[in-house]
Amino acid sequence: MSAIETTYRDAIRQALLDAMEEDENVILIGEEVGLYGGAYGVTKGLIDLYSANRVIDAPISEAGIVGTAVGAAMTGLRPVAELMYVDFIGLVMDQLANQAAKSRYMFGGQIAVPMVLRTQGGTGRSAAAQHSQSLEAWMLHTPGLRLAMPATVNDAYHLLRDALRQPDPVVFIEHKGLYTMKGTLDPETPDAGWGTPVIRRDGKDLTIVTYSRMLHEAMRAADTMAEAGIDAEVIDLRCLNPLDEAAIFASVQRTGRAMIVTEAATAGSAASEIAARIGESCFDWLEEPVVRIGGEDIPIPVSPSLEKGSIPSAQLIAEAGLWLMRKETPAWA
């Protein structure tokens, strides 16, 4: 299959389709994944290709969906469970954090839980406080869980294919604001290996570390900073666990300045963890403190204008970059 232009949503669907074609043990389970085609249309038509035995419409019970997936994985299948919103993750934390994440360790490697939990998070659809959160830090804090958050069409495909090859449970968080984004999918050529960050833009003055939809805001911010003579390097993490830190540290050692950008609230966030690692490993090279840019510490508003203002924008990121480079002092400083 040659490279094609497609959407983020269809790249995920293609990854599921290819995986199911290659391995009869790959099954899908979730609320409305079959006849309806998934809450965001990712699994549309798959039940017609693979029957209700492999594309399973589950009752409205998140605990039941994930618990079934855990048991299926332990008996040799490779289930892909769909959780309609990451906001519902609290309903499945016993199954996910206490069972799926720990079983391979507790059984000495005799039993694995090779499942993928597909879910989506983030803002952009005025879905309000209970359907718009970024809760990846909960997953990052649980040993035994892998965590992928693709920002591009190609990564949406390849990271999901990689996730379905792992011996451990993978939480795969798709951003609801990216489903209709178009881009190039090359099924033969991943952007990088599993757990390896990608430098999306080279630079020498400042390192911006980000992931998921914030990558696109960071890239726009880098364009704005370039107009002011600042050459920003932008790193897309792609996976938060596993995470090869070498590229991050090498970049910061070259630029001497680092900014971590996330849509999630900053307190206890992935941005805080990455900033701490940079501080520990790159202290001697840092010209300025590591800056974290994240969402406001508030429930996500339903108002489109307030929702938009509750998360970082390209303008905010650019202003922070100008401040780090001592070019100007923004109003919030």
Catalytic residue, from 22, 24, 32, 62: name it.
Answer: 62
Instruction: Please give the Cα distance from 272 to 209 (Å, whole number).
Output: 12
216 is catalytic: no
Q: Tokens standing for 225?
A: 């900073």
At 44, the amino acid letter reads: K
Instruction: Please give the Cα distance from 18 to 184 (Å, whole number).
Output: 17
Contact status, residue 270 vs residue 140, Cβ threshold 8 Å: yes
Query: How many whole angstroms separate alpha carbon 322 and alpha carbon 319?
Result: 5
Phi-psi region of 301 (alpha: psi -120 to 50; beta: other; left: phi over 0): beta
- Give the list of residues 6+ apart from residue 107 with CB closer than 8 angstroms, or none: none
Q: Give the type of residue at 237.
A: L
- Sign (positive/negative) of CA torsion 26, 30, 36, 40? negative
Instruction: State the Cα–Cα distance between residues 71 and 117, nearest whole angstrom.
Output: 13
Q: Is 288 a catalytic residue?
A: no
Owner of token pair 């003055």: 205
Active site residues: 62, 131
